[in-house]
Amino acid sequence: MEYLSTGEVAKKLNVSLRTLRYYDQIELVTPSHKEENGRRYYLKEDVFKLEKVLLLRAASLSLEDIQKVLHRITIKKTLSIHKEQLQTDITHLQQSLQFTNELCNTVQLEGEVQWKHLLPLFSTENQSTKGKQKKEWMEELFTDEERVALDQHLPTMNSDSPETTKWINLIKRIEICLEEEKHPDSKEGQLIALDTLMLSNDTFKGDHALAEKFWEARKSETASSGLNLYPVSQEILEFLEEALSHHEATM
């Protein structure tokens, strides 16, 4: 028979020695062999039992409940619980990735930002509220078909897509024009207008009516906030609108 020491089991299962000793004390998982000096040694069957306990703990079962079901739970049920836990982990990782993308894009746009402005991004409650608010505004402003199109193609701050980066760079270019006091009808302003039209065409897949409808919502501070869009200053929006108007007039 091959025995594993407490230390070897702790390393294998990534649990603390204290946890293993506690499980032994409450007779949840008792090692097959104990020496007089107190050292514990586990067989493969003991390790498997510990793995079941850890899996059930990950599924939020109490130790008391685990003691009741440990010897009755089937392999099928164990796999079902494991699958549910993996799905929960995947959801949490996806949310974490979205939050991280949003942080990265915010830093790219704003440079130095204060932590107090970023911490709400990690709040599940805050995200839930923002999601509900966005859903309500989307239903108020757009049709079912339009909402589907926006969900599929509209770049978001929690995405690391090339389209999101292009829109961020566009905003940065307008900021540079404003800093250098260049007008919307300048060469730089007209290049921005042209790039905006091309980006818009890609984003809205040639649906000019939807693009115009979204732009009107974007210009509204209230609607933009309700749709959970990145807050763009009115100065930038006005520059872009004037640049687009001048480009249209010269076509």
* Residue that wins the pLDDT comparison between 13 and 133: 13
* pLDDT tens-digit map of 197-218: 998 998 888 888 988 888 888 8
Of 37, 54, 73, which closes a domain?
73
**Are 245 and 137 contained in the same domain?**
yes
List for the chain the helix, strand, coil content (%; round to 5): 70, 5, 25
Mean pLDDT, rounded, for 124-142: 74
Chain-centroid distance of CA 218 in Å reads 23
**Are 132 and 208 contained in the same domain?**
yes
* Burial classification of residue 189, based on how many CB atoms lie within 10 Å of its CB (0-12 exposed, 13-18 middle, 19 or more buried): buried
- Domain count for the chain, please give it: 2
**Are 244 and 132 contained in the same domain?**
yes
Domain assignment of residue 234, yes or no: yes
**Distance of CA 41 to CAs 11, 55, 112, Å?**
14, 21, 54
Domain extent at residue 187: 127-249
The DSSP element (H or E) to which 40 belongs, if any, is strand 40-42
**Are 162 and 232 contained in the same domain?**
yes
Give the domain CATH number at 51. Answer: 1.10.1660.10
**Are 141 and 65 contained in the same domain?**
no
Tell me the pLDDT band of 112, cut-offs 50, 70 and 90.
low
Domain assignment of residue 199, yes or no: yes
Task: Collect all residues with Cβ–Cβ distance below 8 Å to 231 and sequence separation of at least 6.
Answer: 221, 224, 225
Of 38, 58, 73, which closes a domain?
73
**Are 157 and 241 contained in the same domain?**
yes
| pLDDT higher than threshold 90 for residue 186 | yes
**Are 36 and 133 contained in the same domain?**
no
